[in-house]
């Protein structure tokens, strides 16, 4: 396939499917959910472009093998690392749409993860610095190590109890008891509560309603990953197209 034809094909793919990705990003930020209709509409376009890649000169076995490997990688992230369902579907569509680009979902995911980590840690750190003059950040957490507290400054932030709903914010504390006289027995969990997050969130709200907790608690921001995946996709495809031309 000629270099300029390949570049035009990549540009066409982004133009045709980019709107769907932007819409999915908007939905992910707004409500952390993306309708399956978006991916069902995208899949025929992705499959059609994969077939067009074969007609333009790419080996059929290369395209089929690339699609299979990309799908295995996306599903592995979903089942092993707990990647969100919409994020996994995004990578599956990318794996079919850009089957001509080796390991496209892997590259997109790595770039998006680094970008999301950098932005989230920076925002958390700034928010915690702005919060510090008004209230002690680690009052009542004397048993936690300085290393844990350092992680908390970058991975978590202080938010009002009412905002901890496991949709946008996940609790980053553990409690021995939720009774007011024992609430000082609190610990920090820089990476969130994992599978216990819903139970802890409900207990936090009950304790706040009963007057046992007031003010803010530590929480992890549940990052909307699809916007980062979308930006990374444009970046990876642009760099790959430039390298192909060179």
- What are the residue ranges spanned by the domains of the chain? 3-118+224-245, 119-221
Nearest to 21 by CA among 91, 105, 107: 91
Q: What is the pLDDT of residue 181?
A: 47
* 86 within 8 A of 226, measured Cβ to Cβ: yes
Token readout for 228 is: 């980062």
Q: What is the pLDDT of residue 110?
A: 92
Nearest to 115 by CA among 30, 15, 223, 243: 223
| Separation in Å, CA 238 to CA 180, 231, 234 | 56, 11, 6
DSSP letter at 225 equals -
How buried is 121 (Cβ within 10 angstroms: 0-12 exposed, 13-18 middle, 19+ buried)?
middle
Q: What is the pLDDT of residue 71?
A: 87
Token readout for 148 is: 């844990």
CB environment 35-49: b (16+ within 10 A), e (fewer): eeebbeebeebbeeb
Q: What is the pLDDT of residue 139?
A: 66
Radius of gyration of the chain (CA): 22
- The residues with which 169 forms a beta bridge, in sequence order, are 221
Nearest to 58 by CA among 109, 9, 107: 9
Q: What is the pLDDT of residue 122?
A: 93
CB environment 137-159: b (16+ within 10 A), e (fewer): beeebeebeeeeeebbbbbbbbb
| Pairing status of strand 157-160 against strand 216-221 | antiparallel
Nearest to 28 by CA among 81, 68, 73, 88: 88
Q: What is the pLDDT of residue 26?
A: 92
Cα distance between residue 231 and residue 100, in whole Å: 19
Q: What is the pLDDT of residue 84?
A: 81
How long is the chain?
A: 246
Q: What pLDDT tens digit does each residue of the chain (246 aa) get?
A: 556 677 777 788 888 888 899 999 999 988 888 888 989 999 888 888 888 888 877 788 888 888 888 888 888 888 887 788 889 999 999 988 888 877 888 889 999 999 999 999 999 899 888 877 666 777 666 667 788 888 888 988 888 777 777 667 887 877 655 454 444 456 777 777 666 667 777 777 676 666 656 667 788 888 889 999 999 999 988 887 777 666
- The residues with which 159 forms a beta bridge, in sequence order, are 217
* 164 within 8 A of 220, measured Cβ to Cβ: no
């Amino acid at each position: 396939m000629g270099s300029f034809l390949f570049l035009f094909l990549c540009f066409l793919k982004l133009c045709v499917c980019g709107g769907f990705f932007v819409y999915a990003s908007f939905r992910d930020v707004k409500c952390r959910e993306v309708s399956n209709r978006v991916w069902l509409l995208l899949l025929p376009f992705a499959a059609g472009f994969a077939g067009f890649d074969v007609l333009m000169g790419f080996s059929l076995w290369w395209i089929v093998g690339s699609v299979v490997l990309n799908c295995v990688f996306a599903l592995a992230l979903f089942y092993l690392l707990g990647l969100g369902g919409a994020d996994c579907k995004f990578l599956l569509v990318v794996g079919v749409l850009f089957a001509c680009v080796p390991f496209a979902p892997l590259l997109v995911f790595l770039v998006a993860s680094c970008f999301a980590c950098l932005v989230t840690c920076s925002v958390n750190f700034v928010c915690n610095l702005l919060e510090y003059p008004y209230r002690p950040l680690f009052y009542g957490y004397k048993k936690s190590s300085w290393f844990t507290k350092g992680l908390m400054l970058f991975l978590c932030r202080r938010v009002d109890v009412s905002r901890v709903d496991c949709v946008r914010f996940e609790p980053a504390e553990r409690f021995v008891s939720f009774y007011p006289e024992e609430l000082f027995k609190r610990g920090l969990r820089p990476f969130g509560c994992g599978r216990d997050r819903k139970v802890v969130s409900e207990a936090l709200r009950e304790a706040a309603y009963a007057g046992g907790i007031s003010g803010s608690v530590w929480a992890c921001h549940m990052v909307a990953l699809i916007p980062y995946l979308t930006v990374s996709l444009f970046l990876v495809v642009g760099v790959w197209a430039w390298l192909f031309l060179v």
